[in-house]
Structure 1
Amino acid sequence: MTAAGEASPHDPPGAAPDGEDALDRDPSADPLSVLFVSPMDLSGRSGGNVATKEIAVAFARHHGVELSLVCPRPADALPPGLTDGAERAWFLPEKPAGTMEWHARSQLPTLRAHAAAERAVDPDLIVARVGPSSVFTPLAALVTRTPYVALIRGMVGRNLKFGTVVDALVRANALAADETYVAYGEIADRYGLGEDATVFPNAVDPERFQPMDRAEARERIDAPIDPGDFVVGFVGSLKQRHRVGDLLDAVAALPDGEAVHVLVVGDGPQRDALESRVADAGLTDAVTFCGYVDHDELAPYVGSCDATYGVVDADNPSNPIKCYEYLACERPVITSATDELGFVAERDLGVALDRVSPETVADAIARLRSLDDDALAEMGRRGREYVVENHTWDRLADAVVATYRE
C-alpha cells in the first residue's frame, strides 16, 4: 500500500497522487495540431473499435488540441464527440469486419491521406493506433520530421495468418515512435520494447458510465431478475478468452438456495455453446442472455448487477476495458490479479483471482455475496473514485500532450 500523496505502482502515467487534482492544463498554450490515425472503424462495435474511438474522443475534447483524423469511412456516422470535435477527417475505404484484405487495400489511401493532412494542417504530432496496416504512418512522421506517438493496445499479430510479419511491423512502429504506449506489460514483452514502452492501461469515460440505483436500473432492462437475486454481470464478446464458461460453471456449483442470477450482455461465437451449457446444467432460470447492447446503452445493465465479471485468460493476456467501466458504475469486480489490475485487491474493489477456474470464481461470488448492501455500495464508491482519478481516457490525452509540451 502506498502512502498518501504518492502514486500507486498500479497507477498509469499522469495519475494524480491521492488528494491532488488532475494534470494541470495551460490555457495560454497554443493549440496542438494532432493527427490521429486509426485502422479501426471508429463507429464499430468491437472492444478495439470502442477503445480507439474513446481515445480519439478524449483528444477531440482536450482544450489544448485541434484534432484531425485519418480512419476508415465509418459504417455508421462518426460518433458525436468526433463529428463535433474533429477539425478535419480523411477517410480510408470502409472496412468490412474480419478481413485482412482491407489492410493491403488501405495502403495507398493512407499515403494520400498523410500527404493531404500535411498540406492542410501541418500536424505538430501524429498519434496512431497501431494495426496490421500501419506502414506509411511512421514513414510519414519520419519524412516530415513530425513527432510520432504509437498506441499498441493489444497483441496485434495474435492469431493472424501472417502474424510474424504483422508483429515485425508493430515493432518497427514502436522503434520509429518518439513515445509508445501499451495497454499491458505483456505487449512490451512480446515486442521486446522493455522500458522504451509506457504501460497505460485501458480506461473509461466516467461521464458515459455513471452509477445508477440498482432497482431503477433493473426496471430499465429486459431481464427476469427476482428482487432477492444476487446478480453477477458480464459485458463483452462471447469468446473463449473471456472465460464466461467458468462463470456459468461456478454458479452451477454454488449451493442450492444461493439465488444468484447471471446477466450475460453481449454476443459472439460461443453464444450457442454457452446457452446449451446453461440448459444442460438446469440453469435456464438463473442466466439471462441479453444479446448485443450498444456501448452507449450499457450503464443500466451494469447498474443492475451486484457484482461484475471480467477476467484474463492466462494464455491470452489482455487488460479488459469492461473492468474499468464496471468500476465507474460503482460495481465490485471479479477479475484477475494482473499487474495492471493489481489495484483491485490493493484497494479492496472486488476480488482479484490468481487463477481462473469454476472453483475460484465460485469462491469470489460467495465472498461478495456474503457482504451486506452497505459494504458492497462502499466498495463500489471506492472503485469509481479510483478509476475517475487514475483511469480515464482524458488522462491518456493529457499524458501525450504533456510529454510533447516538455
Structure 2
Amino acid sequence: MHILRLCSVYEPPPSALLGRGVRFDPMGGMQIHAAKLSGALDGLGVRQTVVTTRPPDAPALARLGRHGRVVRLGLPVAAARQGYGAAAWLRAPGLADGLDLVHAHLGEDRSVLPAARHVAAHARAPLVVTVHRGAPRPGGSWPAGTLGARLERHVLGGADAVIALTEGMRDELAKDGVPGERLHVVPSGIGAGFLAELGTPELGEPVMPERIPTPRIGYVGRLARRKGVDVLLRAFALLRDRTDAHLVIVGDGPERSALQRLAARLRIDGRTHFLGFVPHEYVPRVLRELNVLALPARHGGLGTVLPEAMHSRVPVVASRTGGVPELVEHRRTGLLVSPDNPEELAAALRELLESRALARAVTVAARRRVNERTWDRLVHRVMEVYEGVVPLPVPERTDERTGERTGGREPAAAADTAADLG
C-alpha cells in the first residue's frame, strides 16, 4: 500500500527547531501525531509520502524510515506557509502516481483539504481525513471564515473516511453532517520513548543548563493563547506561601514574549523557567522530572502530552474542555478545573503538591487508563480504516473472444468528484 499523507505541519528535523524555525513551525500535538503514526506504519512496511510545509533549515526532501519520504513544499517563510497547498495542487499529477490512498490531517489550516481532494481525484484513490480539532465552525473574518467552514463541511462530508481523536469530536462531526458510517475514532498514541523505564533522572542537560529545585509544576506544549498558559502563570502567582515551588514551561510559540513579561509583572519570574523547545525524544525525561503537569487550555482537543503524562505517572491538572474529560476522571485519574479560572487551578495545584496520597492514587489509575493507547496497538486501528476504503483489486482476465484484458483496481469514489475540484 502506498499512502500520501498531507499535513500543514509535521515533525521537523532538529535543525528547524532553532532560530527562525521556532516561529515558523512550533512543535505541537498534530506534528507528533502525524510523525508517530507514520513511523508505526513504516514499521509495518507501508510505503508513505508525506507532503507538508518547509520550515527554515529543513530539507526539501528527506527519508522517512525504511519505506517513505517527506516532501516539503512552499517557501520557508511563516507568512507564506500556506503556499505549500498551492504547490501540492500543481504537483498533483506527479504526487498521485501509484497512490492507493490519500490521508489528510486537518488542523487550523483548511488549505490542506482542497489539495488532498485534488490529489485523490488524480490518483482515483480514496480520501481519509483525520480531524485534529472540533467540528467545522465559521472562523475569521467574512467571507473567508464562512467560506472556509463550508469548504471543510463539503470535503469532510464527501471523504471516504473521517478519523476523530475523541468520542466527543466524532459526535460533533456527525451533527455537522459527516455520515456516521464513515466516522471512526482513533486517539493519539504514546510512542516507544514512553514505554522505556528511564528511572528518575535529575533535570539537567540536554534539557536545560541548570538544576531546578523541587517541587516542579510543569507545562509542555505550544505557547498560544488558547492553551491558557497565562492562566497558569496567574494561578502560580496565587501560591504565595509555596515559594519553594518552581514553574517549568516547555515549548515555544507566539505568546512566549508576552508570557515572560506577565511572569515579571506577577513577580514570579525568578521561579518560572521558560525552557523553549526540547526535542520530543526528551519529553519522557522532562515529564518524569515534574511533580505536577498543568494543562490549562481555554478550548481545543485532547493533544498528545496528556496521555503521555498519564502513562509517565505524572499527576495532571487539566481544563474541562474538548476530549479531556474522556481521559481524566475528576479525582480518579487527575483533577479537572474550569477553563480560564486561575483560582480553581491554583487550588488544584496546591492539593496535588500537598497530598502525596491523592497524587499517587490518580497516577496509578491514570496509567491503567491509558495503558492501551500505544502506537504499536493504535496503528492497526488506522490500518483497518485504510483497508475499509481501499478498493479491492479485481483479478485480470482475458476475454476469450477478443483477447482483451480486463480488471485491475476499481476506481475509488474520490474520482467521481473530480469535477467538483475544478
TM category (shorter chain) comes to: 0.7 to 0.9
Q: TM-score, normalised by structure 2?
A: 0.73
Tell me by how many angstroms 1:333 deviates. Answer: 1.1
Whether the 8 Å CA contact 2:194–2:312 is kept in 1: the answer is no
- Percent identity between matched residues is 22
1:197 aligns to 2:183 (yes or no) = yes
Using a 3 Å threshold, how does the CA distance of structure 1 residues 141 and 66 change in structure 2: closer, same or farther?
same
The answer as to 2:50 corresponding to 1:50 is no
Superposed counterparts of 1:144-155, under 5 Å: 144-154=123-133
Q: Which string of whole-angstrom CA distances, capped at 9 and with x for unpartnered residues, describes residues 167-187 of structure 1?
A: 233223212221101235356
Please tell me the root mean square deviation across aligned C-alpha atoms, in Å: 3.3
The total of aligned residue pairs comes to: 361
**1:365 matched to 2:334:** no
Give the secondary-structure state (helix, strand or coil) at the position aligned to 2:324. coil
3-state SS of 1:249 partner: helix
8 Å contact kept, 2:194–2:311 = no
**Cα distance, 1:326–1:96 mapped onto 2, change above 3 Å:** farther
User: Contact conserved, 2:92 with 2:118, CA < 8 A, in 1?
Assistant: no
* One of 181, 194, 217 as aligned partner of 2:202: 217
Partner letter of residue 186 of structure 2? F
Find the partner of 1:138 among 117, 120, 128: 117
Work out which of the two has the higher radius of gyration on C-alpha atoms and give 1 or 2. 2
* Equivalent position of 1:182 in the other structure: 164
Contact 1:132 1:157 in 2 (8 A): no
Aligned equivalent of 1:36: 5
Q: 1:321 to 1:78 in 2, by over 3 A?
A: farther
1:224-243 to 2 correspondence within 5 Å? 224-226=211-213, 229-243=214-228
One-letter code aligned to 1:126:
V
Q: Compared with structure 1, are the counterparts of its residues 191 and 92 closer, same or farther at alpha carbon in structure 2 (3 Å cutoff)?
A: farther
1:398 is matched with 380
Structure 1: gaps (5+ residues): 1-31
Q: 1:108 to 1:329 in 2, by over 3 A?
A: same
The CA distance in 1 between the partners of 2:304 and 2:215, in whole Å, is 23
Gaps of 5+ in 2: 13-24, 389-422
Q: What amino acid is aligned across from residue 205 of structure 1 in structure 2?
A: G
Which aligned pairs between 1:1-400 and structure 2 lie closer than 5 A?
A: 32-43=1-12, 44-47=25-28, 48-63=30-45, 65-72=46-53, 75-76=57-58, 83-87=64-68, 91-99=72-80, 101-103=82-84, 105-115=86-96, 117-118=97-98, 123-130=99-106, 131-142=110-121, 144-154=123-133, 160=140, 162-184=144-166, 185-186=168-169, 188=173, 191-193=176-178, 195=180, 196-208=182-194, 212-214=198-200, 216-220=201-205, 221-226=208-213, 229-257=214-242, 259-313=244-298, 316-338=299-321, 340-342=323-325, 343-345=327-329, 348-372=332-356, 376-377=359-360, 379-390=362-373, 392-400=374-382
Aligned partner letter, 2:27: S
